[in-house]
């Protein structure tokens, strides 16, 4: 007997879950340090343009593919391409990418849980410099018990949510945790703005210095926009497959992109106002969150409470993204193999955890184990972020623009009219003008996905692998 496919219980539930998928370590951990490394405001402006034109177009594209097929990435590409094996491989690429990323993502997410616990122990009071905070970080991530313990704890949290399904698990969790996440972030932003010297942090974020902008800066911004929205790994496609036909994809995609972007910017405000106020450098790189911020917290008034709230914020962001990654894997086995969701969640979660152990130990016992000049963690990170994600996005854009008839996606694009766009933007239009407006937006979207996005993603890919 065929099991009826689950759907989101509400439009806001889908938006919060999909935004939670996009809002992860890329927003709270990676965006601030990449912005800091590339000069702040000028980078952010290029990033916003990239999000608006390329990011939004690909978000719409992935959700369209998912909803039209009502299947996982593999089934979606197979169904829409009428069984074409080459396009079906793109679906397998998405599932594989999700598996790889989740295996080491759980490790990094475990750090945020660990640092939250360290906050309860009052550890941050002991840091006087960023060097002492960095030494503490190194001691923790080289400790197998500490790093694998929190990796396991985080993995269990992910399993617990996905186990209960789409509406009862993922959506219910997202409707509770995402508002909490936003409230905590707003509180941290206000707190950061009240610190003496925070004006320098705002100036860093809001006053562009174009003298530091190069071609590399532009490609970094494009790559960050791609990474931030969780594109190319099948997560938004999978979430889109649970979307009802009467929901507006355009409205949903806009809300997801706006939420993701605003949260990345607010995280930048919360972090850089604090960093500048305490006299630290904004260009610390990947160590900004775990090596510099703990020292910042130690000098701030009420810094330990700030630290606790920041790292639980980081953990929530990681959790909502990890849930979507596991759902990509689970949906494949449920759709294609007809296996029980509960068995798939437990089995795949356990396999992901085991596969992530070498990544967890890459900072300690396996630090001298080198594959292709990289530790296991660095190799998976490089393979996923620099190769698999851009290729997934590139093939998705090519599939929409060149692999399938335009009419198929336009029909799907027009379904669900009456969403936020209609109510707030087209409400004063006649039915004829409204139809024309949707057609115009659809044509612009299709042109970007067909002609512009492939070129841009290819440039990002070439840059990421060191060709340009």
Residue 26 maps to a domain = yes
Residue 304, pLDDT above cutoff 90: no
For residue 322, the enclosing domain spans 11-464
Residue-wise pLDDT tens digits, 320-332? 999 999 999 999 9
Through-space distance between the first and last CA atoms of the chain, rounded to whole angstroms = 53
At residue 376, the pLDDT reads 96
Phi/psi for 344 (5° steps) reads -65, -45
When pLDDT is cut at 50, 70 and 90, the band that residue 3 belongs to is low
- Mean pLDDT over 87-113 rounds to 95
Most confidently predicted of 169-173, 285-289, 460-464: 169-173
Residue 434, pLDDT above cutoff 80: no
Residue 3 maps to a domain = no
Most confidently predicted of 87-91, 188-192, 433-437: 87-91
Residue 360 maps to a domain = yes
Residue 369 maps to a domain = yes
416 against 33, higher pLDDT: 33
Q: Give 240's contacts (C-beta < 8 A, 6+ positions apart).
A: 18, 62, 63, 64, 65, 66, 67, 249
Residue 4 maps to a domain = no
Residue-wise pLDDT tens digits, 52-69? 888 999 999 999 999 999
Q: Determine what percent of the chain is predicted with pLDDT higher than 90.
A: 56
Lowest-pLDDT range of 60-74, 87-101, 125-139, 169-183? 125-139
Residue 2 maps to a domain = no
At residue 1, the pLDDT reads 45
Residue 120 belongs to domain with CATH number: 1.20.1740.10
Q: How far apart are CA 354 and CA 92, in angstroms?
A: 21
Residue 422, pLDDT above cutoff 80: no
293 against 149, higher pLDDT: 149
Lowest-pLDDT range of 7-11, 348-352, 406-410, 448-452? 406-410
Q: How far apart are CA 293 and CA 274, in angstroms?
A: 8
Residue-wise pLDDT tens digits, 197-216? 899 989 888 888 787 788 88
Q: How far apart are CA 320 and CA 177, in angstroms?
A: 9
At residue 210, the pLDDT reads 82
What value does the mean pLDDT of the chain take?
88
At residue 316, the pLDDT reads 92
- Mean pLDDT over 400-417 rounds to 84
Lowest-pLDDT range of 147-151, 214-218, 316-320? 214-218
Q: Tell me the C-alpha to C-alpha distance, in Å, between residue 401 and each of 10, 445, 446, 447.
A: 30, 10, 7, 8
Residue 142, pLDDT above cutoff 50: yes
- Mean pLDDT over 190-203 rounds to 90
When pLDDT is cut at 50, 70 and 90, the band that residue 385 belongs to is confident
Residue 99 maps to a domain = yes
Domain count, the chain: 1
Residue 5 maps to a domain = no
Lowest-pLDDT range of 89-103, 177-191, 208-222, 381-395? 208-222
At residue 420, the pLDDT reads 47
Greatest Cα-to-Cα distance within the chain, rounded to the nearest angstrom: 67
At residue 418, the pLDDT reads 52
- Mean pLDDT over 346-354 rounds to 97
């Amino acid at each position: 007997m065929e099991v009826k496919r689950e759907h989101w219980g509400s439009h806001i539930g889908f938006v919060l879950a999909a935004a939670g998928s996009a809002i992860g370590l890329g927003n709270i951990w990676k965006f601030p340090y990449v912005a800091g490394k590339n000069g702040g405001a000028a980078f952010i402006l290029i990033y916003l343009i990239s999000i608006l034109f390329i990011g939004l177009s690909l978000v719409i594209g992935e959700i369209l593919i998912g909803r039209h097929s009502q299947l996982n990435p593999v089934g979606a590409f197979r169904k829409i391409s009428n069984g074409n094996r080459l396009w079906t491989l793109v679906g397998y690429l998405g599932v594989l990418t999700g598996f790889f990323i989740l295996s080491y993502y759980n490790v990094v997410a475990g750090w945020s849980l660990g640092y939250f616990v360290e906050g309860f122990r009052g550890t941050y009071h002991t840091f006087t410099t960023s060097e002492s905070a960095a030494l503490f970080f190194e001691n923790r991530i080289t400790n197998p018990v500490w790093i694998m313990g929190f990796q396991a704890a985080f993995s269990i949290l992910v399993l617990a949510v996905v186990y209960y399904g789409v509406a009862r698990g993922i959506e219910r969790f997202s409707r509770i945790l995402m508002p909490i996440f936003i409230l905590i972030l707003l509180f941290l932003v206000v707190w950061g703005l009240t610190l003496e010297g925070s004006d320098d942090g705002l100036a860093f974020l809001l006053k562009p210095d174009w003298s530091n902008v190069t071609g590399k800066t532009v490609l970094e911004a494009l790559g960050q926009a791609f990474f931030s929205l969780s594109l190319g790994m099948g997560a938004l496609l999978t979430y889109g497959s649970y979307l009802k036909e009467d929901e507006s994809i355009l409205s949903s995609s806009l809300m997801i992109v706006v939420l993701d972007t605003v949260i990345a910017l607010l995280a930048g405000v919360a972090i850089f106002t604090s960093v500048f106020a305490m006299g630290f450098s904004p260009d610390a790189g990947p160590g900004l969150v775990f090596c510099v911020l703990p020292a910042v917290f130690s000098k701030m008034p009420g810094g330990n409470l700030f630290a606790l709230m920041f790292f639980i914020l980081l953990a929530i962001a990681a959790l909502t993204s990890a849930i979507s990654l596991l759902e990509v894997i689970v949906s494949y086995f449920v759709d294609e193999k007809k296996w029980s969701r509960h068995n798939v969640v437990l089995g795949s979660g356990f396999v992901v955890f085991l596969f992530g152990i070498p990544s967890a130990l890459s900072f300690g016992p396996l630090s001298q184990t080198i594959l292709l000049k990289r530790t296991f963690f660095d190799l998976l990170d490089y393979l996923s972020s620099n190769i698999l994600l851009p290729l997934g996005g590139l093939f998705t854009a090519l599939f929409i623009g060149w692999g399938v008839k335009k009419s198929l996606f336009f029909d799907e694009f027009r379904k669900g009219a009456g969403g936020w766009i209609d109510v707030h933007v087209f409400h004063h239009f006649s039915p004829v003008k409204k139809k024309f407006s949707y057609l115009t937006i659809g044509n612009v979207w299709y042109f970007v996905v067909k002609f512009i996005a492939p070129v841009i993603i290819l440039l990002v890919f070439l840059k990421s692998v060191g060709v340009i």
